[in-house]
Chain A
Amino acid sequence: MSDAAAVPAPPTARAADPRPRRVTERVRSERRLAWMLCGPAVFVMLAVTVYPIVYAIWLSLHRSDLRFPAASKFIGLANYGHVLSSSLWWADVGHTLIIAVFSVSIELVLGMGLALVMHRAIFGRGVVRAVALIPYGIVTVVAAFAWRYAWAADSGFVPKLLGLNYDPLTREFSSYVVIILTEVWKTTPFMALLLLAGLALVPDELHEAAKVDGATAWQRFVRITLPLIRPAILVALLFRTLDAVRVFDTVFIETAGQNKTETVSILGYNQLLNRLNLGLGSAVSVLVFAMVALLAFLFIKVLGTSLAQQRGEK
């Protein structure tokens, strides 16, 4: 890093240099080096992201089934027609949104609380932050298994503790409760971390001034903290919503999509990996991608206007 900073010669020296060609050569070689250094990364990015996305779109326009290679042919948008006219797709979109909306809203509230605790912790700050992050560090599949074993009637302690006479993972409502709780437990720390970054930007002087003016803690939180960390909240919501819409592992382990908990990702998995119907499965994947892109667009719209508003107010 320090080498790179040392390379450009002072501009005055450059202007006085009687041989400007040498400098441009040098700049050119630096540019070449820069390209060579980024090149591999750009190439890898193209290979692992752009290529699969383009290939999935291409596959979704074909009748393509691993088992019937001879029957592959271009069928235009027929796969999209099959997906969008299927009641299963819309039901699964509904299931996915239930999980996403409930888990993200609960996470936001809990994450805010956790972030405030982490922000205000006077001693043992490092320990508090590390402990709060443990659930996020656990592999999702492992966490999902732990929750499943805890809640299933034949292996878990929770049904006995709550005095339930049925298995929570065999009914629709309670399955959603378990799935959403698992998601909340798992990703609240992530939400808290993003919000903590926002809290660090709120100047203490504002709080002190408000305190002098007699504002209560709640008023200070609502009138000062919240407006100032609004961009951080929106970023946190954006990241978590996009993640939640693609939820797969928690649901796959806990209910495998039964009891009407199937999400769009599980639907895509069934078409792709179970039925080997690459065309239909890719159409599902592309639609999930479109859904995520739309959500991201909406969030950025809101985020953009809020930033502009803030600048305008200042």
Chain B
Amino acid sequence: MQEGKLVGWKVGLAVLVLAGLGGGLLAGCGGSSASSGGRATLTWYVFPEHSGAFTQAAADCTRASGGRYTIAIQTLPSDADSQRQQLVRRLAAKDSSIDIIGMDVTWTAEFAEAGWILPWTGTAAQQVTTGTLAVPIQTATYKGRLYGAPANSNTQLLWYRKDLVPKPPQTWAEMISMATALARQGKPHYIEIQGKQYEGLTVWFNTLVNSAGGTILSGPTTVSLGAPAQVAAGVMKQLASSPGADPSLSNQQEDQNRLGFENGTAAFELNYPFVYPSAQMNAPKIFAQMGYTLYPAIIAGKPARVTIGGLNLAVSAYSAHSADAFAAAACLRNAAHQKVAAIKGGLPPTLSALYDDPGLAKPYPFHQLIKEQLATASVRPQTPLYSDVSLGIQKSLSPPGAINPRAVLGNLESELKLALSSGGLI
């Protein structure tokens, strides 16, 4: 009898443990956006914004909705690749917990083609495009429809040391010869740029190809490249084999570039505006000599067409509250919140009028340069197969020092064809 009891006990315990496990698993998978008492909770998946500008915008818009919805922020990983991986896995599984998506400018075609996001139409579309710069709108548009509300933009400037470079270079050729001259004098001379095999390498190449008057693709599935791509790859190779190249060039991302400049080994740096407040805080001596100017051109007299970055807000196709989500997204990127994001978080606005706002001038003394560059900015290939295309470009051009000018164009073409046919390994 006693044994029987014991056995019963054990079975009971095992069942309990299992039930606990199963319950935990189920609870972990659930968590769809709930509405409590008529008030919808909208979940905004977005990159970690450390200044608090996004949190403030979410709180403001919740208040402004008058009790219609609450916006909750769900933080994504910090790099764009991991953000995308997490989002696409959720979206492919039709996760209804996502309402608003903080979408990198390169994801629009992919998300739209897969049917994961809803197009902006009617007055909502009008509201988020009025007064917005043209190129940011272009990044949010796929097959003639608007899929995102441009929330902020981004572009790289040329940062240089005023004590080493009295007159900043206007072309790549000038910059490389200045760096070579500085090297000969034994002065800091590196040109800091993103040379690692990752998205940054595609950004660099896209800027150079467009600055040389070409494009990477001429349609969602047609390779363009040609002579401008040849020139672009040549410039990358030229920098990599000149004394201006940082020895770690082929392993560097934005942050290593920032550190290189702050350490005082570099004379030039091509990077996003976040490096400005960072230098001010970490390296006041370097900061005192930190100049900024337009990104160098390839062809003298023809401004560079710098690759645009930034964030568009999209509404998930699986959201249970899409109407509210459109309203909330429009609020999150309105003029007031873009201004906060620019001043607090250093994110360049997409609204044209904000560049004339006197409040921006002090923390953002280079705002007119950014506006000028955004007007001529270039967009990365707009194809649902963008990540395949980017991977192919990175693999053909890494490391920049090993580019073979004779073979590079053929390599790029065959990689891009593989990418666009979505067959074959890359």
Query: Which residues of A are at the interface with B, using a C-beta cutoff of 8 A?
Result: 3, 7, 33, 36-37, 40, 65-69, 78, 82-83, 86, 88-89, 152-155, 165-167, 169-170, 255-259, 267, 270-271, 273-277, 280, 284
Measured CA separation A285–B227 after assembly (Å): 39
Query: Given A36-B11, A40-B18 in contact, is the A89-B387 Cβ separation under 8 Å?
Result: no
Q: Please, what's the 1-or-0 string for B112-154, where 1 marks a CB less than 8 Å from any CB in chain A? A: 0110000000000000000000000000000000000000000
Q: Is the CB of B3 within 8 A of A3?
A: yes
Measured CA separation A287–B422 after assembly (Å): 19
Please, which residues of chain A bring their CB within 8 A of the CB of B7?
33
Q: Is the CB of B6 within 8 A of A258?
A: no
Measured CA separation A146–B418 after assembly (Å): 36
How many interface contacts (CB-CB < 8 Å) are there between A and B? 102
Q: Is the CB of A37 within 8 A of B251?
A: no
Q: Is the CB of A273 within 8 A of B425?
A: no
Q: Contacts A258-B399, A276-B387 known; list 14 others, CB within 8 Å.
A: A7-B3, A36-B11, A66-B88, A67-B88, A67-B110, A88-B425, A154-B246, A154-B252, A170-B247, A255-B251, A256-B196, A258-B197, A271-B425, A277-B388
Please, which residues of chain A bring their CB within 8 A of the CB of B198?
256
Measured CA separation A276–B384 after assembly (Å): 11
Query: Given A36-B14, A276-B88 in contact, is the A83-B197 Cβ separation under 8 Å?
Result: no
Is B36 interfacial (CB-CB < 8 Å)? no
Please, which residues of chain B bring their CB within 8 A of the CB of A40?
14, 18
Q: Is the CB of B3 within 8 A of A275?
A: no
Q: Please, what's the 1-or-0 string for B192-216, where 1 marks a CB less than 8 Å from any CB in chain A? A: 0000111000000000000000000
Contact residues, B219-246 vs A (CB, 8 A): 246
Measured CA separation A258–B196 after assembly (Å): 8
Measured CA separation A247–B198 after assembly (Å): 20
CB < 8 Å: which of B81, B387, B423 contacts A280? B423
Measured CA separation A68–B424 after assembly (Å): 16
Query: Given A3-B3, A273-B85 in contact, is the A152-B391 Cβ separation under 8 Å?
Result: no
Q: Give chain A nearest CB distance to B186 CB in angstroms.
A: 15
Q: Give chain A nearest CB distance to B13 CB in angstroms.
A: 11
Measured CA separation A65–B113 after assembly (Å): 12
Q: Is the CB of B114 within 8 A of A68?
A: yes
CB < 8 Å: which of B3, B113, B196, B251 contacts A68? B113
Please, which residues of chain A bring their CB within 8 A of the CB of B248?
152-154, 167, 169-170
Query: Which residues of B are at the interface with A, using a C-beta cutoff of 8 A?
Result: 3, 6-7, 10-11, 14, 18, 81, 85, 88, 92, 110, 113-114, 196-198, 246-252, 256, 259-260, 384-385, 387-388, 391, 398-399, 422-426
Measured CA separation A7–B247 after assembly (Å): 73
Q: Is the CB of A154 within 8 A of B391?
A: no
Q: Is the CB of B422 within 8 A of A277?
A: yes
Q: Which of B110, B114, B259, B260 counts the most chain A CB atoms within 10 A?
A: B114
Query: Given A7-B3, A66-B92, A256-B198 in contact, is the A275-B250 Cβ separation under 8 Å?
Result: no
Q: Is the CB of B247 within 8 A of A83?
A: no
Measured CA separation A147–B197 after assembly (Å): 19
Chain A residue nearest to B116 (CB atoms) is A67
Q: Give chain B nearest CB distance to A142 CB in angstroms.
A: 17
A to B CB contacts below 8 Å, 29 in the list: A3-B6, A33-B7, A33-B11, A65-B422, A66-B88, A67-B88, A67-B385, A82-B423, A86-B424, A86-B425, A88-B425, A153-B248, A154-B259, A167-B247, A170-B250, A170-B399, A258-B196, A258-B250, A258-B398, A258-B399, A259-B250, A270-B426, A271-B426, A273-B85, A274-B81, A274-B387, A280-B423, A280-B424, A280-B425
Q: Is the CB of A274 within 8 A of B391?
A: yes
Q: Is the CB of B422 within 8 A of A275?
A: yes
Please, which residues of chain B bring their CB within 8 A of the CB of A152?
248, 251
Please, which residues of chain A bring their CB within 8 A of the CB of B92?
66, 69, 276
Please, which residues of chain B bring their CB within 8 A of the CB of A276?
88, 92, 387
Measured CA separation A212–B425 after assembly (Å): 63
Measured CA separation A276–B419 after assembly (Å): 12
Please, which residues of chain B bring their CB within 8 A of the CB of A78?
423
Q: Which of B81, B85, B260, B423 counts the most chain A CB atoms within 10 A?
A: B423
Please, which residues of chain A bring their CB within 8 A of the CB of B81?
274
Q: Give chain A nearest CB distance to B287 CB in angstroms.
A: 20
CB < 8 Å: which of B88, B113, B114, B425 contacts A82? B425
Q: Is the CB of B399 within 8 A of A154?
A: no
Please, which residues of chain B bring their CB within 8 A of the CB of A3?
3, 6
Query: Given A83-B425, A88-B425, A259-B399 in contact, is the A69-B114 Cβ separation under 8 Å?
Result: yes
Please, which residues of chain A bring their CB within 8 A of the CB of B3?
3, 7
Chain B residue nearest to A166 (CB atoms) is B247
Measured CA separation A167–B113 after assembly (Å): 42
Q: Is the CB of A170 within 8 A of B249?
A: yes
Please, which residues of chain A bring their CB within 8 A of the CB of B110?
67
Q: Give chain B nearest CB distance to A222 CB in angstroms.
A: 44
Measured CA separation A277–B392 after assembly (Å): 14
Please, which residues of chain B bring their CB within 8 A of the CB of A167?
247-248, 250-251
Q: Give chain A nearest CB distance to B15 CB in angstroms.
A: 9
Q: Is the CB of B387 within 8 A of A275?
A: yes
Measured CA separation A152–B260 after assembly (Å): 13
Please, which residues of chain A bring their CB within 8 A of the CB of B256?
154-155
Query: Given A67-B114, A154-B248, A154-B259 in contact, is the A275-B388 Cβ separation under 8 Å?
Result: yes
Please, which residues of chain B bring their CB within 8 A of the CB of A277?
388, 422
Q: Which of B92, B247, B249 counts the most chain A CB atoms within 10 A?
A: B247
Measured CA separation A166–B388 after assembly (Å): 31
Chain A residue nearest to B256 (CB atoms) is A154
Please, which residues of chain B bring their CB within 8 A of the CB of A69?
92, 114
Q: Give chain B nearest CB distance to A266 CB in angstroms.
A: 11
Q: Give chain B nearest CB distance to A10 CB in angstroms.
A: 16
